Chains A and B, each alone.
Chain A
Amino acid sequence: MDVEVEYPHEGAVVVRPAGRLNMVAAPALREVVDRVVAEGRTHVVLDLGATTFVDSSGLGALIAGLKTARAAGGDLRVAAVPAQVLAVLSLTNLDRVLRPYPTVADALA
């Protein structure tokens, strides 16, 4: 899995994990989120447009990221969520916690 990072404006960051976000890739995503939040970019948007698959360990990384961002006074949002990921969110009820934003721009607002 590749993780691309983009800085749209002060304090915000867009993180793009591409490919399979599973138990092997989850630690890498957690590290990226920890790093950007430590740098002061506490408004984190995860662009899942290029993510082909997420398992429960991947969801665990989302929750860890949300905790990190909140602890720093910011927020973590998920955007452009593909159908498979939406299905997993709904299966685990995680959509009760996280709102899937249609686009990155919506999530940055």
Chain B
Amino acid sequence: MTGTRAEIRRLAAARARRLVVVRVLVVLVALTGLNYLVWRWTSSVSWPAWWIAVPLVLAETYSLVDTLLFGATMWRIKDRGNPPTAPRDATVDVFITTYDEPVELVMRTARAALDIRYPHRTWLLDDGARPELRAQAEAADVGYLTRGADWQDHERHAKAGNLNNALGATDGDFILVLDADQVPAPTILDRTLGYFTDPQVALVQTPQLFSNVPHADPLGSQAPLFYGPIQQGKDGWGAAFFCGSNAVLRREALMQLGIVGYVREVDRSVRSALRAADRVLARAGRTPEARRPEVAAALADVREAVRAAQGQLTQGEPLADVTYAFQRRVDAAARGMVSQDVDRLRADLLEVARLGIDVGDAAEPADEPADVVLDDAALDRLAHRDWSPLGALESVRTLVRAVDIDRSDEAQPVMPMATISVTEDMATSMRLHGLGWRSVYHHETLALGLAPEDLGTMLTQRLRWAQGTMQVFLRENPLLQRGMRLGQRLMYVATMWSYLSGFAAVVYLAAPVVFLCFGVLPVTAFSVDFFARLVPFLLLNQLLFLVVGRGLATWRGEQYSLALFPVWIRACVTAFANVVLGRPLGFTVTPKTRPAPGRPQWHRIRPQLVALAVLVLAAVVGTVRLFVADAAPVGTAVNVAWVGYDLAVMSVVITAARYRGHVPQEEAV
């Protein structure tokens, strides 16, 4: 692990040389790409066929931006080598999050966590609250945490809520987060804690790899480009992401995030409650009851209180004081209304008694009017009872509850882990960066997990990631957040941008079909001009991938980024409907078991199968047209080749649908 000084120097020199090569390639890719795209926009859009020509040039623009963002990421690729020595006296909690994974699988991870060498405490965070898991955890001397009564009737916030709940029940300086299937190496803390000697470091992320994936990786489970050059590039820009597991976090940073978030949410909710208050009071003022002078006076009183509170907020008065004063004032107004009401009631009753009219149940107090006297405490009770006689009062009381500092809508007022997205990790690290905390990507495999082994589960997982990313993009767009540097913003945008690829993919699939079947060309000509600009760009781009990938299997990732276009589109559409229109995300439940053997899940890839069929058909039609309709030979050749590329890329879904799970080599023999 620790080389000689000469060896370290040699490695550093090799890294520096590689960085120079990468940067030269990035510059060349950017120049050739821009040269091609400018020419495409200015000189080669076939405007008569605008309906396909414009989408194509837009898709190409999208792709070039994607390439440029990738280039920017690679510009600062950072290989950290050996980590600093771990401090001696840090306290660490290891959190293993689980919901419904098999008990044996969870316990395997828990036992490995107990064997981590650095002193720590191990906790199982069981959101499924399974008695069997509790018993096994206790037997193995592993801490067991589950949600308490506070969470009843409250939004649970999935994994983020599970982690927040555990943060409230533990007190270690650092937290190692592990998914239920991620079996840690004994050295995982020794190799990561050293980075925290920099007091500004809040996060150390390590790679996520899977042990149950064959070399060919039919489902594209491993992400060697992401847990490698991409995270290293983001790290270079000070923006290594938190990816939810195999990461160590500084508790102080998370708690600070929780406090800042609490203040932001209280401020927002108090302001919106006061705005709503104004509307409710205006409505209450139009009810028949409001014509009674005492009700009108009380409503005016409360309205005045709302205005006063808004004024104080504008002047920067602390929220606790503003809400406290507001509540007192509204309470007093409400009490006034009720006491006047009781006065009237008593007067009515006395009148009833004097006239000797039998009023049924009400006759009893009428016989002894003194009993109607209510002390202050009773008045308070009355004002807090739901059957209060005045409709307006009900509205007022709802307002008072809303204007408070306790976030009564949430189980926990302080939530360290971000809950704005179904993928809490990216949102959390972005907020950490916004507060000035640093992050580290340590490129060493220190845990091995289990990937989904069937197409359905894999698709659901990818959909979730994409939806979560787009939620963050729409809710807390990195370009609009405070506190981050430009480079950090770009690193977040780069990842989010890549999830928009589904729309471009549709155009890339449609364009050759349109030409081969109808002879409509989206570019003015497949001329020398065209190839002279496009081919160098494509070649240099591939060369860049080769250099940064250094023999990694990046082809799978390239295939899936196109082949899963229906998933990416669905993620964008549902996330938009969720964030902007307030609709539920509409999850499909992840299948818990492997599908029956021998039955490929064709129904899950129907759009891709249709696309494949159309592509093949188009190639046939195009070839026939070459002879029958005198189609342009070069154009046909280019488009048939294009179709060939699309088929090669998309065929991965067929392999995936037929995949029946991993059989380890020894067993297979």
User: Is B266's CB within 8 Å of the partner chain A?
Assistant: yes
Q: Does A35 contact B (CB under 8 A)?
A: no
Chain A residues near B (Cβ < 8 Å) = 23-24, 26-27, 55-57, 59-60, 63-64, 66-67, 70-71, 75, 77, 91-99
23 A-B interface contacts by CB (under 8 A): A23-B173, A23-B252, A26-B171, A56-B258, A57-B252, A59-B255, A60-B255, A60-B258, A66-B320, A66-B405, A67-B406, A67-B413, A93-B259, A94-B262, A96-B318, A97-B262, A97-B267, A97-B318, A97-B319, A97-B320, A97-B405, A99-B317, A99-B320
Of chain B, the residue at the smallest CB distance from A97 is: B319
Besides the known contacts A56-B255, A63-B414, 9 further A-B residue pairs in the complex with CB atoms under 8 A apart: A23-B171, A23-B173, A60-B255, A66-B405, A67-B407, A75-B320, A77-B320, A92-B263, A97-B319
Find chain B residues with CB under 8 A from A26 CB. Answer: 171
A57 contacts B266, C-beta separation under 8 Å: no
A60 to B255 alpha-carbon distance, docked (Å): 8
Query: B260 to chain A: which residues have CB within 8 Å?
Result: 92-93
The answer to whether the Cβ of B425 comes within 8 Å of any Cβ in the partner chain is no
Interface: B646 (CB within 8 A)? no
A67 to B266, CA, bound (A): 12
Judge whether A92 and B259 touch: CB under 8 Å: yes
Q: Which residues of B contact A23 (CB under 8 A)?
A: 171, 173, 251-252, 255
In the complex, chain B residues whose CB is within 8 Å of the CB of A57: 171, 251-252, 255
Looking across the interface, which residue of chain B has its beta carbon closest to that of A60?
B414
Docked CA distance A26–B404 (Å): 23
Q: A17 to nearest B CB, angstroms?
A: 16
Whole-angstrom CA separation of A27 from B171 in the bound complex? 9
CB <8 Å contact, A55 and B255: yes
Query: In the complex, A70 Cα to B406 Cα: how many Å?
Result: 8
Residues from chain B with a CB closer than 8 A to the CB of A75 are 320, 324
Any A CB within 8 A of the CB of B138: no
Residues of A within 8 A of B266 (CB): 97
| Distance of A98 Cα from B264 Cα, bound (Å) | 13
Measured between beta carbons, the chain A residues less than 8 angstroms from B318 are: 95-99
Out of A60, A64, A94, which one reaches B263, CB within 8 Å?
A: A94
Q: Given the known A-B contacts A56-B252, A97-B319, are A71 and B406 also in contact in the complex, defined by CB atoms under 8 Å?
A: yes
Inter-chain CA distance A66–B407, complex, in Å, is 11
Considering the complex, give the chain B residue whose CB is closest to the CB of A24: B171
Which residues of the other chain, A, contact B173 by a CB distance below 8 angstroms? 23
A94 contacts across to B, CB distance below 8 A: 259, 262-263
A59 touches B251 (CB 8 A): no
Main secondary structure of the interface of B (DSSP, over half): helix
- Chain A: CB-nearest residue to B255: A56
CA distance A43 to B453 in the complex (A): 58
Interfacial chain A residues near B405, Cβ < 8 Å: 66-67, 70, 97
Closest to A78 in B: B320
Which of A60, A94, A99 counts the most chain B CB atoms within 10 A? A60
The chain A residue with its CB closest to the CB of B264 is: A93
With an 8 A cutoff between CB atoms, is B321 at the interface? yes
Asked if A93 meets B263 with Cβ closer than 8 Å, knowing A56-B255, A60-B258, A70-B405, the reply is yes
B256 CB within 8 Å of chain A: yes
A81 to B316, CA, bound (A): 19
Contact B263 A96 (CB under 8 A): yes
CA distance A63 to B406 in the complex (A): 8
Q: What 3 pairs between A and B have smallest CB-CB spacing?
A: A56-B255, A99-B318, A67-B406
Contact in complex: A64, B413 (CB < 8 Å):
yes
Residue ID in chain B nearest A26 by CB atoms: B171
Residues of chain A within 8 A (CB-CB) of B264 are: 93
The 0/1 profile, CB within 8 Å of A marked 1, for residues 303-339 of chain B is 0000000000000111111001000000000000000
Kindly list chain B residues whose C-beta atoms are within 8 Å of the C-beta of A70: 404-406
State in angstroms the CA–CA spacing of A93 and B260 once bound together: 6
Residue of B nearest to A70 (CB): B406
Query: What residues on B are CB-neighbors of A77 within 8 Å?
Result: 320
What distance in Å separates the Cβ of A62 from its nearest Cβ neighbour in chain B?
9
A26→B169 CA distance, assembly (Å): 11
Query: Which residues of B have CB within 8 Å of A93?
Result: 259-260, 263-264
A59 to B405, CA, bound (A): 14
- Residues of the A chain whose Cβ atoms lie less than 8 Å from the Cβ of B267: 96-97
Whether B413 lies near A59 (C-beta < 8 A) is no
Could you tell me if B256 and A92 are in contact, using CB atoms closer than 8 angstroms? yes
Tell me, in angstroms, the Cα distance from A23 to B251 when the chains sit together. 9
* A30 closest partner in B (C-beta): B168
Nearest-neighbour CB distance to chain A for B174, whole angstroms, equals 11
Kindly name the residue among A26, A92, A97 whose own CB sees the greatest number of chain B CB atoms within 10 A.
A97
Give the CA-CA distance A92 to B431 in the complex, in Å.
13
A23 and B319 CA atoms in complex are apart in Å by 25
A59 to chain B: which residues have CB within 8 Å?
255, 259
Q: When the two chains form their complex, are residues A66 and B406 in contact, meaning their CB atoms are under 8 A apart?
A: yes
A91 to B318, CA, bound (A): 15
| Residues of B contacting A71 in the complex (Cβ-Cβ under 8 angstroms) | 406
Of residues 156 through 193 on chain B, the ones whose CB sits less than 8 Å from some CB of chain A are 171, 173
Q: How far is A41 from B98 in the complex, measured between Cα atoms in Å?
A: 41
Q: Compute how far the CA of A23 lies from the CA of B406 in the bound complex, rounded to whole angstroms.
A: 21
Report yes or no: A97 in contact with B404, Cβ–Cβ below 8 A: no
Interface-centre pick from A57, A70, A77 (highest chain B CB count, 10 A)? A57
Distance between Cα atoms of A98 and B324 in the complex (Å): 11
Nearest CB of chain B from residue A97's CB, rounded to whole Å: 5
Across-interface contacts of A24 in B (CB, < 8 A): 171
User: A55 and B406: CB pair below 8 A?
Assistant: no
CA of A77 to CA of B321 in the docked complex: distance in angstroms?
Answer: 9
Q: How far in angstroms is the closest Cβ of chain B from A15?
A: 16
Give the distance in Å from the alpha carbon of A66 to the alpha carbon of B406 in the complex: 8
